[in-house]
A and B are shown apart, each in its own frame.
Chain A
Amino acid sequence: MLTLLIQGSGFLELFIDSCEDDGCEETALNWVLAAVVVAIVCALVMLAVKWFKKYAAINLIQKAWSRGETLVLIVAGLVPVLIVLLVIWYTTRNFFNYVGMGGLLKGVVFAWLLYAVMMFTGHLLSPWRREIL
């Protein structure tokens, strides 16, 4: 239902350079889904990294995270999002052919935004909110 709604809204066309062949909308949908999945996985991985670093901290100073450190972690997570999406885009023929460079950039920005929203939400919904507010 949601997929149909997205397909019908023209939203997907933003993520694809050329849509002259049949099935291009499906390619666009797949590309958006890939961006969403990568953003979610990277956000979860980065939150897990933070949890582990805090868990394994050997003293109180290491365990206490400043807002700056938290922002650095979030920004650092943008890099794997970019790399993974690049790899997916390059190794998937349809993405390379139809999504194109413009779609790639838009997809990466979309994934970054989604990743950042998830990271902030993850912090806000946990006791770590004190480290970011």
Chain B
Amino acid sequence: MRNVFIAVGGSGTKVAEALIRLLAIGFPTRKENGILTSAGDSLQIWRLDPDLNSGAAISLGNYLKEYEELQSLLNGNNNTPGIASSRWAMDVDTRVRHLDPLQLPRMSDSDNSLKTLEGILDSRYGRVKKSLPFLAPFYEKKDLAVEIDRGFYQKPFIGAAVMAVFAESLTDENSPGGKACSLTGFQNVATNFFLCGSLHGGTGASGVPIMGKYLGSLKRNNQSWDWRVGACLLTPYCVPPQPPFGTLREGVPTSQQIDDLVKEHGDKPAFSGLTFEDKRKLVEQILLGFYAEPEAMEARARQGLAYYRDHSADYFDELYLAGKPEPDKLKVWSNGGKSQSNPLNSAEVVAALAALNFFSRAGTGNPESYVIPSSTEELNSEKMTLRDLPCYTVGPDEIDPERVFLATAVMHHLVTKQIPWHLPAKAFPKDIERLRKVYQDNESRKADDWNRFQSAAALFAKAVMTTIDPNPEHTIGWSAEDATRIWPYLSNDAANVKEITAKTAKKFMSKEAKGELELGDSGLRVSTFEFGEWCPESADFTRGEYLRLVWSNLLALAHKRMRVTAGEK
């Protein structure tokens, strides 16, 4: 199945990163020959954001490189340039299609060159006429004049006009947006389009409904294409701090006011890397109120939801809503660009799970109704655990994220620590006979696989830890509990290896494991002898295929543990 993830704005881009991390960790979207996997499906990422070099985009690009490295370590010799492919996980096109809503077709050179709302509305191309004369009365002068190449400053009323012009331009395959999407390639191809952006922001709030409506209309007019359009809307889940100084109550800032503020605040992180002139522009922008206002987020989200209810929901096959009762508080104020590099939020992981649910073609409820599951009262959204994450379904199988993390961590341990890689393959015991047969006449393949498994394992460990470890550099909104418990499975420390090895040891006269491997509410019991029997039937399997089989078997063994409360001990 072909999937397209359309990340709208900074929040959508962070969710795209979370999605790639989850795919790397092993989250499945389909079942093939009894094995849960995402391999065989493909994913393209489109990024709809005027802020081309935002910190979120850089972070996504960096993580895609790691995903590509992981996939290349796990595949055979089947390398397609730009596609991170293996039998471990979904093929991901690592070339993110940047859809810049400000890159619009033009009739003359002066059209669509000024990156302000006024500049765009005062342009024309093809049959599209200038709309400034009709729309200008709805805006204040400062709204029309502000530069919007770093986003829409959480002002959907600015973004909506720009996005509408952009969506219209997509119908022309020769427009910049049309070329980037090349939607003709999707005609008659079953595809899941999933949009994600914030309800309360500028780019997300305006981009998701307009792009959704555009794709939904195409789908309605071409039912045979087997397209599905879904979206996840993020309600306020983190709030930025206030900018270094407040807005003017009225009027426009004077040059002296701007210079004084540049002098006072010009060396703060939000201004780093800017030229003096850019600093002046930013000061002016803040004074005029063009920044994310934390107090207005909830109201904007409410308005956004009302808009979906009245105008937009019908275009989507599935709409998911993710957020937090108490938004996390970010520490660094940013105007966008490289400095807006927020840690991965647990709410973004929840949204990525919604995307996986959609990609697996699982439906929630029926089209005529709402399904409103919500978190439990016990959930502390500032310190979430893996057991708080929502489950999703792949066919008849329920996928519990906590069990997925456990299966991946145990797989990491078993493959790197419990196979006698240091011995010639012919000396492997009969309990791993299939691997022995594959390697015994091909020691160089064994050595190569071992090296690559080790490198891949390091990337697995990094993916797991940087997704849930509550290190403010990496993530926000997680409890340290899971990271602490999962680390021993991923560690090379002798004491940790010994402890896990003792649990995977078999009982005397039985293949059953002595101990249970645990993570939160999940547990699994596996001995190395059971693990040794898992190997693909065909001798020419790839590393990814082998890991996926092991992982799928481990996931099948994982179960809910009986919770022992303090009073019962």
Enumerate chain A interface residues (CB-CB to B < 8 A). Answer: 54, 56-61, 63-67, 127, 130-131, 133
Binds A, one of B316-324, B419-427, B547-555: B419-427
CA distance A59 to B529 in the complex (A): 7
Assess the B429–A67 pair: CB atoms within 8 A.
no
For A59, the chain B residues whose CB sits under 8 A away are 418, 501, 504-506, 527-529
List 7 A-B pairs, minimum CB-CB distance, nearest first: A58-B505, A64-B420, A130-B426, A63-B429, A59-B528, A60-B528, A131-B427
CA distance A58 to B507 in the complex (A): 7
Within 8 Å by CB of A61, from B420, B424, B506, lies B420
Q: Mark B522-545, 1 if CB is under 8 A from A, else 0.
A: 000001110110000000000000
Assess the B427–A64 pair: CB atoms within 8 A.
yes
CA distance A64 to B428 in the complex (A): 6
For A58, the chain B residues whose CB sits under 8 A away are 505-506, 514
B430 to A, closest residue via Cβ: A127
Sample 15 A-B pairs with CB under 8 A, ordered by A number: A57-B429, A58-B505, A59-B418, A59-B501, A59-B505, A59-B528, A60-B418, A61-B418, A63-B429, A64-B423, A65-B427, A67-B424, A127-B430, A130-B427, A131-B427
CA distance A63 to B427 in the complex (A): 10
B interface residues, tally (CB under 8 Å): 25
For A64, the chain B residues whose CB sits under 8 A away are 420, 423, 427-429
Enumerate chain B interface residues (CB-CB to A < 8 A). Answer: 418-420, 422-424, 426-432, 440, 501, 504-506, 508, 514, 527-529, 531-532
CA distance A66 to B418 in the complex (A): 15
For B505, the chain A residues whose CB sits under 8 A away are 58-59
CA distance A130 to B430 in the complex (A): 11
CA distance A68 to B495 in the complex (A): 25
For B423, the chain A residues whose CB sits under 8 A away are 64, 66
CB distance from B308 to the nearest CB of A (A): 55
CA distance A54 to B429 in the complex (A): 9
B419 to A, closest residue via Cβ: A60
CA distance A59 to B432 in the complex (A): 11
Within 8 Å by CB of A66, from B427, B430, B531, lies B427
CB distance from A61 to the nearest CB of B (A): 5
CA distance A26 to B89 in the complex (A): 77
B417 to A, closest residue via Cβ: A61
CB distance from A128 to the nearest CB of B (A): 9
Assess the B532–A60 pair: CB atoms within 8 A.
yes
For B428, the chain A residues whose CB sits under 8 A away are 60, 64
For B429, the chain A residues whose CB sits under 8 A away are 54, 57, 60, 63-64
CA distance A65 to B420 in the complex (A): 9
B436 to A, closest residue via Cβ: A130
For B427, the chain A residues whose CB sits under 8 A away are 64-67, 130-131
CA distance A63 to B514 in the complex (A): 16
CB distance from B528 to the nearest CB of A (A): 4
CA distance A56 to B432 in the complex (A): 16
For A130, the chain B residues whose CB sits under 8 A away are 424, 426-427, 440
CA distance A59 to B504 in the complex (A): 7
Assess the A60–B529 pair: CB atoms within 8 A.
yes
B527 to A, closest residue via Cβ: A59
CA distance A63 to B508 in the complex (A): 13
For B504, the chain A residues whose CB sits under 8 A away are 59
CB distance from B6 to the nearest CB of A (A): 46
CB distance from A67 to the nearest CB of B (A): 7
| Candidate in B423, B505, B514, B527 with the most chain A CB atoms within 10 angstroms | B423
For B501, the chain A residues whose CB sits under 8 A away are 59, 61
CA distance A130 to B426 in the complex (A): 5
CB distance from A111 to the nearest CB of B (A): 28
CB distance from A14 to the nearest CB of B (A): 39
For A54, the chain B residues whose CB sits under 8 A away are 429
CB distance from A41 to the nearest CB of B (A): 27
For B532, the chain A residues whose CB sits under 8 A away are 60
A132 to B, closest residue via Cβ: B427
- 10 more A-B residue pairs beyond the given contacts A59-B506, A130-B440, with a C-beta to C-beta distance below 8 A: A58-B505, A59-B418, A59-B504, A61-B418, A61-B501, A61-B528, A63-B431, A64-B423, A64-B427, A64-B428
A70 to B, closest residue via Cβ: B427
For B529, the chain A residues whose CB sits under 8 A away are 59-60
Assess the A60–B432 pair: CB atoms within 8 A.
yes
Assess the B431–A60 pair: CB atoms within 8 A.
yes
| Candidate in A54, A58, A59, A67 with the most chain B CB atoms within 10 angstroms | A59
CA distance A27 to B325 in the complex (A): 96
CA distance A54 to B427 in the complex (A): 13
CB distance from B246 to the nearest CB of A (A): 65
CA distance A133 to B529 in the complex (A): 25
B531 to A, closest residue via Cβ: A60
For A66, the chain B residues whose CB sits under 8 A away are 422-423, 427
B429 to A, closest residue via Cβ: A63
CB distance from A130 to the nearest CB of B (A): 4
CA distance A130 to B429 in the complex (A): 9
CA distance A131 to B420 in the complex (A): 13
For B419, the chain A residues whose CB sits under 8 A away are 60
CA distance A20 to B318 in the complex (A): 106
CB distance from B295 to the nearest CB of A (A): 59
CA distance A30 to B557 in the complex (A): 62
B504 to A, closest residue via Cβ: A59
B532 to A, closest residue via Cβ: A60
Assess the A56–B431 pair: CB atoms within 8 A.
no
CA distance A131 to B424 in the complex (A): 9
B507 to A, closest residue via Cβ: A58
CA distance A57 to B420 in the complex (A): 13
For B424, the chain A residues whose CB sits under 8 A away are 67, 130
CA distance A60 to B422 in the complex (A): 12
CB distance from B263 to the nearest CB of A (A): 67
CB distance from B405 to the nearest CB of A (A): 23
Task: Knowing A59-B504, A60-B432, A63-B431, say if A133 contacts B418 (CB, 8 Å).
Answer: no
For B422, the chain A residues whose CB sits under 8 A away are 66
A59 to B, closest residue via Cβ: B528
| Candidate in A54, A63, A127, A133 with the most chain B CB atoms within 10 angstroms | A63
CB distance from B5 to the nearest CB of A (A): 40
